[in-house]
Amino acid sequence: MDNRTNTIAGWVLAGCGAALGLSIVGGMMFHGERPEKMGYAIEGVVEEGAGGAAAEVPIASLLPTADAAKGAEVFKKCAACHTINQGGANGVGPNLYGTVGEEIAKGKGGYAFSAALAGVGGKWDFDKLNAWLTSPRKFANGTKMTFAGLGNAQDRANVILYLNQQGSNLPLPAAPAAGAAPAAKDQPATANAAEAAATEGAPTADIANTGTPASGAPSVDPEAARKGARSEK
């Protein structure tokens, strides 16, 4: 009886030892750590920064370097639904000749636009086209257009430049000045007044800080002033 008990206990200990050994070996073979950044990069998707959505590059700053030939290549994705030649027929989507600058969801040979897009109003300017090509559904929730959008900002600029050359030819918007900073809002009022006076050519109050009269102001002899004061007494 004792031998049987010892045998059973021995098998149990051996099994535990084997399980522990397999666990150690398995951990060594399949060891892995959590990556610093989870997931996979998707081309064309803008990553959000720590403070929220990544800053969007204004389309006006991309258009000067845009390439209409590359835009024509990107437009091939749209050719399944749209024609762009003058007098071209409407298809699944409207003909896009002369679209830049036109009223949104108007004309186009009587094409039946969705109520969602017709309700946007305004004209197809460069900013609206950029927003539309980024995400049609966000621009006009309920639109019939099923295209997901172009995630690459330079691709959008290229396509917009190409569209503009097809019957519109509107002048491109001015690009934002490089390094332009907003005007300071907390500047003291006295400094603003002095700057304004200098701009208009009026004398500034230099005397308040240095004791020296502003340029163009009449000079006063301190000794003569003291003598005049004593004579009045």
Check which CATH number belongs to the domain holding 115 and give it.
1.10.760.10
Report if residue 73 sits inside a domain: yes
Q: What is the mean pLDDT of residues 98-125?
A: 94
pLDDT tens digits, 166-217: 999 999 999 887 665 444 434 443 344 444 444 444 443 333 344 444 444 4
* Residue 72 is assigned to a structural domain of this protein: yes
Strand partners, 49: 52
Number of domains in the chain: 1
Half-sphere exposure (CA, 13 Å, Cβ side) for 72?
Answer: 7
Residue 46's pLDDT is 43
pLDDT score of 26: 67
* 140 found inside a domain: yes
Q: What is the pLDDT of residue 168?
A: 96
- Report the mean per-residue pLDDT for the chain: 74
Q: Which two tokens stand for residue 104?
A: 């949104």
User: Which has more confidence, 202 or 120?
Assistant: 120
Residue 185 domain flag: no
Q: What is the 3-state secondary structure (H, E, C) of the chain?
A: CHHHHHHHHHHHHHHHHHHHHHHHHHHHHCCCCCCCCCCCCCCCCCCCECCECCCCCCHHHHHHHCCHHHHHHHHCCCCCCCCCCCCCCCCCCCCCCCCCCCECCCCCCCCCCCHHHHCCCCECCHHHHHHHHHCHHHHCCCCCCCCCCCCCHHHHHHHHHHHHCCCCCCCCCCCCCCCCCCCCCCCCHHHHHHHHHHHHCCCCCCHHHHCCCCCCCCCCCHHHHHHHHHHHC
The whole-model pTM stands at 0.56
Residue 114: pLDDT over 70: yes
Domain hosting 83: range is 64-164
User: Can you give the pLDDT at residue 181?
Assistant: 46
* Predicted confidence (pLDDT) at residue 102 exceeds the cutoff of 70: yes
User: Which of these, 83, 87, 147, lies nearest to 117 by C-alpha position?
Assistant: 147
User: Is 210 part of any domain?
Assistant: no
Is the Cβ–Cβ distance between 97 and 166 less than 8 Å? yes
91 lies in some domain: yes
- Count of alpha carbons within 13 Å of 167, Cβ hemisphere only? 14
- The highest-confidence range among 17-21, 131-135, 222-226, by mean pLDDT, is 131-135
Q: Which of 3-17, 109-123, 173-187 has the highest mean pLDDT?
A: 109-123
Residue 5 lies in a domain: no
When mean pLDDT is compared across 79-83, 97-101, 188-192, 212-216, the lowest value belongs to: 188-192
